[in-house]
Amino acid sequence: GAGVSQSPSNKVTEKGKDVELRCDPISGHTALYWYRQSLGQGLEFLIYFQGNSAPDKSGLPSDRFSAERTGGSVSTLTIQRTQQEDSAVYLCASSPQWRSTQYFGPGTRLTVL
Amino acid sequence: ELKVEQNPLFLSMQEGKNYTIYCNYSTTSDRLYWYRQDPGKSLESLFVLLSNGAVKQEGRLMASLDTKARLSTLHITAAVHDLSATYFCAVDIRKGGSEKLVFGKGTKLTVNP
């Protein structure tokens, strides 16, 4: 079946611009996660959505980062006023329920010039 | 703060040899994952280890978990070139109704003919 999809696959932007990254989880998966992978910091948790519960935003690095999940499915991660240190691969994952294997999408490579 | 330490971070080995990758973590958890990442690709789930003493095997890879020692190992038997990749361990952390994975820095494995 279809896996987690993310778009765009690559995004190049100028410092100070806003960007939106999209994630389509596996159909029927109730949990959705965002992670960031960078050379310096490795893989870091950003945010967790589970069903209709309030998201866990504890991993968001600053208030320039926000995310939403509409209709319990698609999620968008928004970064406002991008900075060069935001350059990384942003990975989305979904799982069928709480505490089960997370399946990762291909990621969006963000480059901030 | 939870720390997940993998060693070695880089591993170059010859085909046919055996080796073990170690993953130590600093807090209690009853669930640990191993993922594989090929260059430019996303994370592929290899194993989920759910209890103390759990052992899982798939082909030339075998993973184990000792929750008392807070240690997981990934053992490679008779390595082949196709196993060249970066391997991550990840500890599942629950807090309230949330969960996240905390990753090690990864072990980059190169298997030479």
Provide mean pLDDT across the span B35-63: 94
Could you tell me which residues of chain B have a Cβ less than 8 Å from any Cβ in chain A? 31, 33, 35, 41-45, 48, 88, 90, 92, 94-106
Instruction: Please give, rounded to a whole number of angstroms, the shortest distance from the CA of B107 to a CA of chain A.
Output: 12
Residue A37, beta-bridge partner list: A43, A89
Query: Nearest Cα to A110, choosing from A5, A34, A11?
Result: A11
Evaluate if residue B60 carries a pLDDT over 70: yes
Instruction: Please give, rounded to a whole number of angstroms, the shortest distance from the CA of B41 to a CA of chain A.
Output: 6
d(CA A33, CA A77): 11
Q: What is the pLDDT of residue B113?
A: 87
Among the partner residues A48, A101, A105, nearest to B100 by beta-carbon distance: A48
Report CB contact under 8 Å: B42, A58: no
Q: What is the pLDDT of residue B2?
A: 87
- Categorize the per-residue pLDDT at B26 as very low, low, confident or very high, splitting at 50, 70 and 90: very high
Q: Which residues of chain A have pLDDT under 70?
A: 1
Q: What is the pLDDT of residue B98?
A: 87
Task: Out of A47-56, B22-31, B71-80, give the one with best mean pLDDT.
Answer: B71-80
Q: What is the pLDDT of residue A98?
A: 75
Q: What is the pLDDT of residue A1?
A: 61
Answer with the residue of higher pLDDT: A63 or B51. A63
Mean pLDDT of chain A: 94
Residue A100, beta-bridge partner list: none
A7-14 long-range contacts, Cβ below 8 Å, gap at least 24?
Answer: A7/A108, A8/A108, A9/A106, A9/A107, A9/A108, A9/A109, A10/A108, A10/A109, A10/A111, A11/A108, A11/A109, A11/A110, A11/A111, A12/A111, A12/A113, A13/A82, A13/A110, A13/A111, A13/A112, A13/A113, A14/A82, A14/A112, A14/A113
Biggest alpha carbon distance in chain A?
A: 38
Q: What is the pLDDT of residue A62?
A: 95
Chosen for mutation from B43, B48, B105, B108 (greatest number of chain A CBs closer than 10 Å) is B43
In the numeric block, the tokens 């490795």 are attached to: A42
Enumerate the residues of chain A whose CB falls inside 8 A of the CB of residue B5.
none
- Categorize the per-residue pLDDT at B1 as very low, low, confident or very high, splitting at 50, 70 and 90: confident
Query: In angstroms, what CA-CA distances link A62 with A58, A81, A85, A89, B75?
Result: 10, 11, 12, 17, 39
Among the partner residues A35, A98, A107, nearest to B99 by beta-carbon distance: A98
Report CB contact under 8 Å: B94, A45: no
Evaluate if residue B35 carries a pLDDT over 80: yes
